[in-house]
Amino acid sequence: MGVIAAIGSSKGGAGKTSLCQVLAPNLLARGWRVAVVDADQNGTFSAWFRDAYEGSGFQCVHEPHEVRAVDEAQRLLAESDIVLVDTAGFKNLTASTAMAAADVVLIPTMSDRGSVIEAIATYQQVQGLARASRRSIPAYAVCTRWRGRGLAEKAALEGLRSNGVPVLASVLSDLADLPKLTHSGRVPTTGKAAREADQLADEMVQLGHFPPEPDRSGDSDEEEASTPISASVPRAGGRKKAAA
């Protein structure tokens, strides 16, 4: 059964879209059927997907409306293993409904104090939504733009954990590949960025929040290459998707 994973934080610039940009293509490369709902009214992910992304195709829909975003996520779930929902970088109704509908919430968190405060607030918001819906909504901080084990990183982890926020062991380092891919559209599926995406995916599988990695060895290359692109985000200029 598929899962909806909301990527949320009330802080702008925490790395939500970057996490989605790295995670979606690498999940796809490992055989999961992936879709993305860009629920941010700015449409940063969907614009990048439409105008720059070069890689195997997956469905992407831009829908910032609080009800329709959830409807789109549930629709895509019928034909996907994992639906990622990239939410806005501020507290709004669409982000709340997306997190309320999610099976798990990932909270990108940088090492600065402001990011930690907003991550704690987002985690507490998710728990409030869980109580309101009378179900469990697991949520985890994901360390983004991480620079190792410096004093700032240590203080950030202490701040999160002392406030009861679960933190994934997997991190997204402060790599040059991340800003580069926003321009080139080429998401690394090898190297450190890809390994970190794999580690995050493996950890989510181990925690029971992502389905096991599928065995699609019987699928033809032609079927994989013809993964549909959502009509909601048309290709620009007939850009041809390159094979991963």
For residue range 196-242, list pLDDT tens digits in order: 999 999 999 999 999 999 876 655 444 444 344 443 554 333 333 33
Q: Residue 8: which of 136, 145, 100, 76 has the closest Cα?
A: 100
Token couple for 28: 């796809």
Mean pLDDT for 56-82 is 96
CA 104, 105, 110: angle at the middle one, nearest 5?
A: 145
Question: Are the C-beta atoms of residues 203 and 168 closer than 8 Å to each other?
Answer: yes
This prediction has a pTM of: 0.87
Question: Are the C-beta atoms of residues 19 and 188 closer than 8 Å to each other?
Answer: no
Taking the C-alpha atoms of residue 130 and residue 29, their distance in angstroms, rounded to an integer, is: 32
Q: Is the pLDDT of residue 244 over 50?
A: no
Token couple for 32: 């999961």
Q: Would you place residue 1 in the very low, low, confident or very high pLDDT band (cuts 50, 70, 90)? A: confident
Q: Is the pLDDT of residue 57 over 60?
A: yes
Contacts of 159 (CB under 8 A, 6+ apart): 113, 116, 120
Give me the percent of the chain exceeding a pLDDT of 70: 88
Lowest mean pLDDT segment, chosen from 5-14, 78-87, 147-156, 160-169: 5-14
Taking the C-alpha atoms of residue 192 and residue 20, their distance in angstroms, rounded to an integer, is: 16
Annotated domain spans of the chain: 3-214
The CATH number for 3-214, chosen from 3.40.50.300, 3.40.190.10, 2.60.420.10, 1.10.1060.10, is 3.40.50.300
Q: Which residues are 54's β-sheet partners?
A: 186
Q: Residue 8: which of 117, 112, 95 has the closest Cα?
A: 95
Average confidence score pLDDT of the chain = 88
Q: Is the pLDDT of residue 175 over 50?
A: yes
Q: Is the pLDDT of residue 180 over 70?
A: yes
Q: Would you place residue 14 in the very low, low, confident or very high pLDDT band (cuts 50, 70, 90)? A: confident
Q: Is the pLDDT of residue 160 over 70?
A: yes
Token couple for 141: 């901080």
Q: Would you place residue 178 in the very low, low, confident or very high pLDDT band (cuts 50, 70, 90)? A: confident
Q: What is the pLDDT of residue 238?
A: 33
Q: Residue 9: which of 112, 102, 116 has the closest Cα?
A: 116
